[in-house]
Structure 1
Amino acid sequence: MSMTKSQVCVIIAAKNAAATIAVAIASALREPEVAEVVVVDDASTDDTAAVARSADDGSGRLAVMRLDVNRGPSYARNAAIASSRSPFISILDADDFFLEGRFRNLFAGADWDFAADNIMLIRDDATGDATKIVAPQFAADPEFLDFERFVEGNISRRSVQRGELGFLKPVISRAFLDRHRLRYDESLRLGEDYELYARAVACGARFKVIRSCGYGAIVRADSLSGRHKTQDLKRLADADLALLAIDSLPEGSKAVLRRHERHVRDKYRLRNFLDVKAERGLASAAAYAFASQSNLVPIVQGVASDKLEALFRRVGFVSRHKHVPPLRFLMAGTSTGKER
């Protein structure tokens, strides 16, 4: 793939990101393959839009859009896609950054519709400037994700560090999206990346992954506790049901999709139980739990696990940051012995 044709539009959907947006924009504008950076300020109540405009490097590549009503990341990204022209799209979260040379590595081959690299996950209270952290040079041998492996890779487990493949931030071929009429599902505020990637792979997308690291993600100490709304989980489980309606999916793919749907639906049932308990009391919550075995099993298991973990934390067996190490990588890689 000719580098002269590797024109990327970087899309940053931002809400109340004045403290971090300049770093994100600078990391994108630094890359020679980036033709456009489109920031969509999703009705921020701080100075996100002004700070974003002040990060302009004078190259004419930065555009800042502002929404007066918060519409969520899917709407913001679709608006940016509609306003942009570049043949490739890359999503960057407003508090994250690209590592230098990222796109050079991703464009090393022309045999893909989606191309993603490894993610360096940095806890937000890690000392020093996160952008100065040097990533190890993992071997970049490409692999391709099929539908079953991708969906299976989004089923998290309590005792295992989170590393869902839906966290990947691929470069995406606009031609593929347009050919299959794909955009982000604007009803989703959780799992919108997962849903788009899964639907794309179901449509035949070649999803290339390399283990070399080109994306730095800041992990908040409280981000794994679930700041999303309970109904967001239900909408994500319902999105799996919509994916199940794709006639071309083989039975093996549908089986793993059903497992993911149950996994998300069980999370919803537990969160809904806790909401009902907080809003209407234990008796109403118990009635909800005992309404069906489908409700009862994940609720009992989830409450028991939460209580046990809280006990271990109180007695010192589990530290506050047990599940959020200072630095890790989304995917394990084999080091080449070099550094980036």
Structure 2
Amino acid sequence: MSAAATMDVCVIIAAKNAAETIARAVASALAEPETAEIIVIDDGSSDATASAALSAADDTGRLNIVRFERNRGPAAARNHAIAISRSPILAILDADDFFLPGRLAQLVDVPDWDFVADNIAFMDEAAAASAAVDVGRFQPEPRLLDLTGFVEGNISRRGVRRGEIGFLKPLMRRDFLLTHQLAYNEALRLGEDYDLYLRALAKGARYKIIHSCGYAAIVRGNSLSGSHRTEDLRRLYEADRVILADNRLSAEAAAVIRRHERHIRGRYEHRRFLDIKREGGPIAAISYLLGKPAAFSAVAGGIFADKTERMRTSKSETLAEAGHSGQLRYLLPASAELS
């Protein structure tokens, strides 16, 4: 097979005010032989995101930069990129993040999939420069991820690391999206990936995951993905309700989606309570809660989680100040490391 024949992946990067990091993201995608095209959507940036992306271009002509004059959100940006792309396989890369060498080859080598994802290494900016060396090499161990496992992997439980499986960045086959008329829900600014993958699984998508780690995700406190509005939570649990209206779901699938809907709705009720307290004071917040007694448990649980999170954050900041930054954390359990 010729090198040209293996170039069948379109890498999509939706970016807003990412001038400091996007060149690294673009360069990492260009370095993959399987990359046929890179589409950067500058989603209404007020900085030099587009020129920074262009600075990473090589002489292959694979980089296409499109600018939205106003911010439309990652779902709209990705939908537009998919519409103008040509490649049969689609890969999503966040503008803060980057591919580790050989990522795409490991993924496309997995047989029989509509979606295929690998492990993610979370790190801070200090660890990025040496990530290619520091990130472990693990046996792929491909396995199917079914709808129930996917949704359960997105539900946080008190005392347990929060559900993060929706953060996975799978490759997607264009044919599957077209056949089932699937696109990102542009009303969502939070959980748009989760919603698309869930709707695909409900349509019978074969979603495989491997433990090999080829995606580096930079964790920073001021990232756009790390913040959301109360309204975003409402739209996300309403998206679950739309999927639940599909009568073709099995009883097990419907039950787990209802659990996720209650989980997100509980987070919404907590945030709504805090919004009312901030805007109208404690009496207004208590009056709101008295009118919605079903929300009391979610609000109380959210307040407790906030307090424990502040304690964990304080401890993390102390460790960072002591010089313990630059450590890696894997999304999937990291096991069977190769020598």
Smaller-chain TM-score bracket: over 0.9
1:186 is aligned to 2:186: yes
Normalising to structure 1: TM-score of the pair?
0.92
In structure 2, the partner of 1:206 is 206
Amino acid at match of 1:172: M
3-state DSSP class of the match of 1:332?
coil
Tell whether the 8 Å contact from 1:143 to 1:210 is kept in structure 2 after alignment: yes
Are residues 193 and 60 of structure 1, via their aligned partners in 2, closer, same or farther at CA, if it must alter by over 3 Å?
Answer: same
Is the 2:7–2:33 Cα contact (8 Å) retained in structure 1?
Answer: no
1:2-17 equivalences in 2 (<5 Å): 4-5=5-6, 7-17=8-18
Equivalent residues of 2:101, 2:132 under 8 A apart: no
- 2:104 equivalent in structure 1: 103
Separation of aligned partners in 2, 1:157 and 1:2? 48
**Alignment CA distance shift 1:132-1:111 (3 Å):** closer
In the other structure, the counterpart of 1:216 is 216
CA pair 226-307 structure 1, distance change in 2 beyond 3 A: same
In 2: Cα distance, 1:332 partner to 1:2 partner = 36
The 1:168–1:337 alpha-carbon spacing in structure 2 relative to 1, beyond 3 Å, is same
The one-letter amino acid paired with 1:65 is V
Q: Which aligned pairs between 1:1-340 and structure 2 lie closer than 5 A?
A: 4-5=5-6, 7-124=8-125, 126-127=126-127, 129-221=129-221, 227-307=227-307, 310=310, 312=311, 318-320=315-317, 326-338=327-339
- The offset of 1:308, in angstroms, is 5.1
Task: Report the Cα distance in structure 1 between the residues aligned to 2:79 and 2:128, rounded to whole angstroms.
Answer: 35
Q: 1 or 2, which has the higher helix percentage? A: 2
Cα distance 1:225–1:83, how it changes in 2: closer, same or farther (>3 A)? closer
The CA deviation at 1:162 is 3.4
Deviation, 1:5, is: 5.0
- The alpha-carbon deviation at position 246 of structure 1 amounts to 1.4
Alpha-carbon distance in 2 for matches of 1:113, 1:308: 39
Q: Which amino acid aligns with 1:230?
A: T
Rounded to whole Å, the distance in 2 between the matches of 1:257 and 1:68 is: 36
Helix, strand or coil at the partner of 2:338:
strand
Secondary structure of the structure 1 residue equivalent to 2:116: strand
Unaligned runs of 5+ in 2: none
The residue matched to 1:137 in structure 2 has which SS? coil
Q: 1:283 to 1:14 in 2, by over 3 A?
A: same
Query: Which moves more between the two structures, 82-91 or 213-222?
Result: 213-222
Taking the aligned partners of 1:300 and 1:225, their CA distance within structure 2 comes to 25
Per the normalisation by structure 2, the TM-score is 0.92
Residues 53, 10 of structure 1: alpha-carbon distance in 2 compared, 3 angstrom cutoff: same
- The amino acid of 2:272's aligned partner reads N
What SS does structure 2 have at the residue aligned with 1:337? coil
CA RMSD of aligned residues (A): 2.4
Q: Does the CA contact (< 8 Å) of 1:97 and 1:131 recur in 2?
A: no
CA distance in 1, matches of 2:190, 2:304: 25
Return closer, same or farther for 1:116/1:220 CA change in 2, 3 Å cut-off.
same
- SS, match of residue 210 in structure 2: strand
Contact 1:277-1:285 within 8 A present in 2 as well: yes
Cα distance in 2 between the residues matched to 1:243 and 1:205: 15
CA displacement at 1:6 relative to structure 2: 5.3
Q: Which stretch of structure 1 is more off in the superposition, 23-32 or 278-287?
A: 278-287
> How many residues get paired?
334
Once structures 1 and 2 are overlaid, which stretch shifts more, 235-244 or 323-332? 323-332
- Post-superposition CA distance 1:289-338 (Å, at most 9, x none): 1212221111122223323554x469x7x443789983110101323333
Residue 54 of structure 1 and its aligned partner are, at CA, apart by: 1.8
CA distance, structure 1, for counterparts of residue 326 and residue 56 of structure 2: 31
Q: Is the 8 A contact 1:117 1:215 kept in 2?
A: yes
Matches of 1:167 and 1:123 in 2, distance apart? 16
CA contact (8 A) 1:145 1:207 kept: yes
Cα offset for 1:150?
0.5
For 1:322 and 1:162, how far apart are their aligned partners in 2?
A: 21
